[in-house]
Amino acid sequence: MSYQTVALIGKPQHAATHDSLNLLAQYLTAKGCELLVEESISKELESDNHRACNLVTIGKEADLAVVVGGDGSMLGAARVLARFDIHVVGVNRGNLGFLTDIHPDEIVQQLDLIFEGECVVEKRFLLDVGVYRHEKLKSSNSAVNEVVLHHGKVAHMMEFEIYIDDQFVFSQRSDGLIVATPTGSTAYSLSAGGPIIMPKLDALTLVPMFPHTLSSRPIVVDADSQVSMKVSKVNSDSLQISCDSHIVLPVLPGDEIRINKSEDKLYLVHPKGYSYFNVLRKKLGWGSKLY
């Protein structure tokens, strides 16, 4: 791959991330790459052979971004970088690491493969969410993993209706609802009993959170559908929409939340030998081959 300008992004003041960032800076400088470093970590690098930038500048100018950290670091960067034509790869310095699949001990070997074109570029879609009050947009954001309607108080029921492409689906009393992408199907949605969806599928999963009926089950819908959640006026206040557990949008009784597939795409790079099912086996402790 022809990556001339490469950016480094990572978790500030984190010892393990610090080590990987300095190794990456040495590697990329030796490759002759122009090096951009996200401004919150630029002072942590031992070399000053780089330019400190914000994420928007990185998205506009870099060919490749290397995110060092856990899936949280990747999600925060991805919501911005997905607006631009940039490839993104992750070095796992977190816990699970579904999105950051390069092991810290294999940085050089894995990046060698990527620079030699021995890699897979995977396209992941995002979700756009808007909160409407009396048909006027009050707030909006985007999500890589999931959009969650939930109460501001723990273990607090709410009432809402679900519509898909303006067709009424069901009403529900529950703690909320998770609307997850295939990328997010191995995150919060999985913990709530949702299905694992292969990344190539153009689908969303709707997962009720602690519903007040045993017949309520997750449902998988076409990702090109508009999912609408109409919050009942009888709810108490302090409802919220969360995007990837990072961004919180306030919701009042009577509001409508509309979720659509975003036009933005995240281009994830995986070194040769990457297997989605291998990742699932490792992260979820699935059984290995019998023979």
Q: Is 187 annotated as a binding residue?
A: yes
Q: What is the DSSP letter of 4?
A: -
Residue 188, marked binder: yes
- 212 is known to lie in a ligand binding site: no
255 is in an annotated binding site: no
Residue 175 in marked binding region: yes
Is 190 known to sit in a ligand binding site?
yes
Scored b (16 or more CB within 10 A) or e, 64-73 reads bbbbbbbbbb
The whole-angstrom separation of Cα 196 and Cα 91 is 23
Q: Find residue 171's DSSP bridge partners.
A: 161
Residue numbers annotated as active site:
71
With tokens 């297997």, the residue in question is 275
194 marked ligand binding residue: no
Helix/strand/coil (H, E, C) string of 13-65? CCHHHHHHHHHHHHHHHHCCCEEEEECCCHHHCCCCCCEEECHHHHHHHCCEE
| 236 marked ligand binding residue | no
- 173 carries a ligand binding annotation: yes
What residues are designated binding site for NAD(+)?
71-72, 145-146, 156, 173, 175, 186-191
What residues are designated binding site?
71-72, 145-146, 156, 173, 175, 186-191
